[in-house]
């Protein structure tokens, strides 16, 4: 029998009515002849509540117990979904991560899937099971402890199962009806895309679009899983994330992404010598600071300024890591300047590979609206700028407009 993976996010399983609504969608696919692996998230808000309890229990919590607690939301929804499907006359069974098992690394709270053993599921499917309801977000460490895959990790569970089971498609049911050119709450004319290439989606996800966990897109790209993002509340096609060869025509720029809460830090006057970048960014990485943009300024008399960006809430960790590196004598700087009022805006599109002048057009559009650019970075298919946070909405609208994203082609 052909196989399908259907993933339902937190808002799609928020209460029993919504679980019934999702179950009705699953029944349709079963009736159409599919063996279905359903991946569920916790009810919306549940994981936040669980994380809150762990944090309240003590600042220095044991990450293994964090996972024991926060993985429980998915256990509830998987059981409820199996019960609901059974009540509809469908042969359904719930599976926790450890029961499959989904083997992961032991990085608790941010584990990576290493392997999914599907023999048990395969046997049950041939035995008449129609739906396997899998608790998303969970896995099993080499030490046989429950792990979780990081926030939003059920997307990754779904894609990993689609790859492991050889599913025809992985449908991600959510509260939006697809991938948009940008956030429709900021730009009313934002347009839903029919298709988007893996690489573009990967950039958009890592640049701040919150629909899919970045890691899930990475996996989909690696294993060529056809991924569809669609609404669980409306009956209409969503957005297909696929190979760029499957996209006939697209705009040069496909979307505008943004990250609101960024910070720009400048280390003033560090020695300009071989190894200095390693001496600065090594300790930052060890402290878990997610450094994004990096600029080394022009040096004078052997000293230089080093500027980088990271999420605002990581600034205290960054400051501490750098101070400690200074105390250990690994680096020496005259000051650390932190601007915590910046945001990052990015344009993404595979069309940039073959079109010149995209960056110029972006900078012109921002200049026309009086938006000052603080840092720029580029890759083959994206341009990102750091700007004052108060201009974020203005910048997103200006760019959406400049690249005519409200129109297809």
By the criterion CB under 6 A, which residues form the site for ligand ASP?
A: 9-10, 41-42, 47, 73, 136-137, 151-155
Please answer whether residues 198 and 242 qualify as being in contact, where contact means their C-beta atoms are separated by less than 8 angstroms. yes
Residue 73's binding partner out of Mg ion, ligand ASP, none, with CB under 5 to 8 Å set by partner kind: ligand ASP
Closer to ligand ASP by Cβ: residue 42 or 321: 42
Element at 383 (helix H, strand E): strand 382-388
Q: Which is nearer to ligand ASP, 42 or 347 (CB)?
A: 42
Q: Which is nearer to ligand ASP, 49 or 337 (CB)?
A: 49
Find out whether 104 and 71 touch, Cβ atoms under 8 Å.
Answer: no
- Smallest distance from ligand ASP to CB 294, Å: 29
Residue 42 binds which of ligand ASP, Mg ion, none (CB < 5-8 A, kind-dependent)? ligand ASP
Both tokens assigned to 275 = 């190894």
Q: β-strand 131-135 against 92-95: which pairing, if any?
A: parallel
Q: Nearest approach, Cβ of 42 to ligand ASP (angstroms)? A: 4
Q: Which is nearer to ligand ASP, 175 or 369 (CB)?
A: 175
Structural contact between residues 215 and 149, judged by C-beta atoms closer than 8 angstroms: yes
Shortest Å distance, C-beta 7 to Mg ion: 9
Task: Choose from ligand ASP, Mg ion, none: what does 208 bind? Cβ within 5-8 Å by kind.
Answer: none
What is the 8-class DSSP label of residue 125?
H
Say which entry of Mg ion, ligand ASP, none residue 153 contacts (CB below 5 to 8 A, set by partner kind).
ligand ASP
Rounded distance between C-alpha atoms, residue 41 and residue 158, angstroms: 10
Give the residue with the Cβ less far from ligand ASP, 125 or 137.
137
Contact of 255 with 348, CB cutoff 8 Å: yes
Which secondary structure element, helix H or strand E, spans residue 201, and what is its range? helix 198-206
- For Mg ion, the closer of residues 152 and 349 by Cβ is 152
Which of ligand ASP, Mg ion, none does 178 bind, CB closer than 5 to 8 A by kind?
none
Question: Contact 121/162 with Cβ under 8 angstroms?
Answer: no
The least distance separating ligand ASP from the CB of residue 92, rounded to whole angstroms, comes to 20
Cα angle for residues 292, 297, 300 (degrees, 5° grid): 155
């Amino acid at each position: 029998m052909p196989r399908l993976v259907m993933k339902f996010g937190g808002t799609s399983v928020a209460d029993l009515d919504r679980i019934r609504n999702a179950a009705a969608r699953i029944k349709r696919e079963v009736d159409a002849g599919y063996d279905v692996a359903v991946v569920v998230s916790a009810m919306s808000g549940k994981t936040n509540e669980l994380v809150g309890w762990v944090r309240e229990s003590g600042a220095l919590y044991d990450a293994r117990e964090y996972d024991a607690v926060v993985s429980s939301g998915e256990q509830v929804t998987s059981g409820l979904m199996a019960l609901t499907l059974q009540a509809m006359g469908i042969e359904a069974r719930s599976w926790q991560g450890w029961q499959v098992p989904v083997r992961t690394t032991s990085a608790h709270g941010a584990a990576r899937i290493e392997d999914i053993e599907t023999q048990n599921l395969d046997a049950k499917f041939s035995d008449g099971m129609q739906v396997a309801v899998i608790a998303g977000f969970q896995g099993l460490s080499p030490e046989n402890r429950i792990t979780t895959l990081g926030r939003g990790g059920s997307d990754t569970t779904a894609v990993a199962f689609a790859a492991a089971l050889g599913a025809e498609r992985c449908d991600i049911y959510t509260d939006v009806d697809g991938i948009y050119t940008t956030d429709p709450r900021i730009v009313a004319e934002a347009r839903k895309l029919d298709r988007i290439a893996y690489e573009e989606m990967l950039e958009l996800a890592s640049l701040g679009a919150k629909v899919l966990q970045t890691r899930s897109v990475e996996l989909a790209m690696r294993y060529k899983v056809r991924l569809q993002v669609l609404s669980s509340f409306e009956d209409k096609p969503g957005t297909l994330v696929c190979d760029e060869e499957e996209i006939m025509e697209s705009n040069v720029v496909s979307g505008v992404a943004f990250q609101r809460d960024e910070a720009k830090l400048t280390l003033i006057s560090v020695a300009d010598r071989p190894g200095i970048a390693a001496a600065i960014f090594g300790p930052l990485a060890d402290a878990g600071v997610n450094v994004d943009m990096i600029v080394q300024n022009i040096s004078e008399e052997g000293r230089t300024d080093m500027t980088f960006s990271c999420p605002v809430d990581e600034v205290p960790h960054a400051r501490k890591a750098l101070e400690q590196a200074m105390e250990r004598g690994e680096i020496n700087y005259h000051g650390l300047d932190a601007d915590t009022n910046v945001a990052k805006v990015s344009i993404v599109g595979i069309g940039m590979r073959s079109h010149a002048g995209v960056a110029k057009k972006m900078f012109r559009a921002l200049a026309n609206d009086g938006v000052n650019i603080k840092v720029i970075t580029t890759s083959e298919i994206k341009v990102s700028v750091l700007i004052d946070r108060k201009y974020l909405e203005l910048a997103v609208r200006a760019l959406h407009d400049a690249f005519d994203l409200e129109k297809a082609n």
